Amino acid sequence: MQRKGLLLILSSPSGAGKSTLARMLMDWDPTTRFSISATTRAPRPGEQDGREYYFRTPAQFEDLVATGQMLEHATVFGNRYGSPRAPVEAAMAEGRDTLFDIDWQGGQQIRASALGRDVVSVFVLPPSIAELDRRLRSRGQDSAEVIAGRMAKSESEISHWGLQAERLRRDRQPGLPDFIRSLEQEFAGR
């Protein structure tokens, strides 16, 4: 008998390492399907429609949302992002797992959907706030203003860690609350 596919959600602040972990998981298990998001942002050099993202106009994106074709969607740094429903449901029916590289809000929307019981969620924490800041700056693709916005969003996302830590429950991680407090103190000292 064939099993129903899982929805594997990796969430983290920008720069914490979820994309690296996603690539490692895909290399380890090539049967896992990566959920390609739709976005209204313009393609970056070398990006192709349907490979990195499905690039859509704002009107096209809103039509996808209005007709229920998105599992989750949000506006992030002025652009719309979302996960198309049809490819995910097709993969699940084939018994293939789908990996999502999305923020915590998108993960919440999927968990609250009819597919919520098929979700396994992992929230990736950065080793430190200083390292997170260094990683964002070393990418060389964002302005100082965008980096500041990403750092502010990271603080909010990290504050929701208790909602995301499904595989590593708090009662199994005695040092985790102290680590979270140290990250929050780093934000306070910035």
Paired tokens of 104:
């915590």
Report the largest interatomic distance among the alpha carbons of the chain, rounded to a whole angstrom.
55
Confidence band, pLDDT 50/70/90 cuts, at residue 167: very low
Q: Is 159 helix (H, G, I), strand (E, B) or coil?
A: coil
Identify the residue whose tokens are 């990290």: 158
Percentage of the chain beyond pLDDT 90 is: 49
For the chain, the average pLDDT equals: 88
Confidence band, pLDDT 50/70/90 cuts, at residue 18: confident
Q: What angle do CA 23, 25, 26 make, to 5 degrees?
A: 65
Residue 65 predicted with pLDDT over 90: yes
Domain map (residue ranges) of the chain: 7-188
Average pLDDT over residues 153-167: 69
Q: Which residues pair with 143 in a beta bridge?
A: none
Q: Please state, in angstroms and as integers, the Cα–Cα distance from residue 138 to each residue in 1, 14, 56, 90, following that order.
A: 48, 13, 29, 38
Average pLDDT over residues 8-26: 87
Paired tokens of 153:
């969003």
Q: Residue 46 and residue 183: Cα distance in Å, rounded?
A: 35
Residue 166 predicted with pLDDT over 90: no
Paired tokens of 171:
């009662």
What fold characterizes domain 7-188? Answer: Rossmann fold (3.40.50)
Residue at 40: amino acid letter: T
Q: Which residues pair with 54 in a beta bridge?
A: 38
Confidence band, pLDDT 50/70/90 cuts, at residue 159: confident
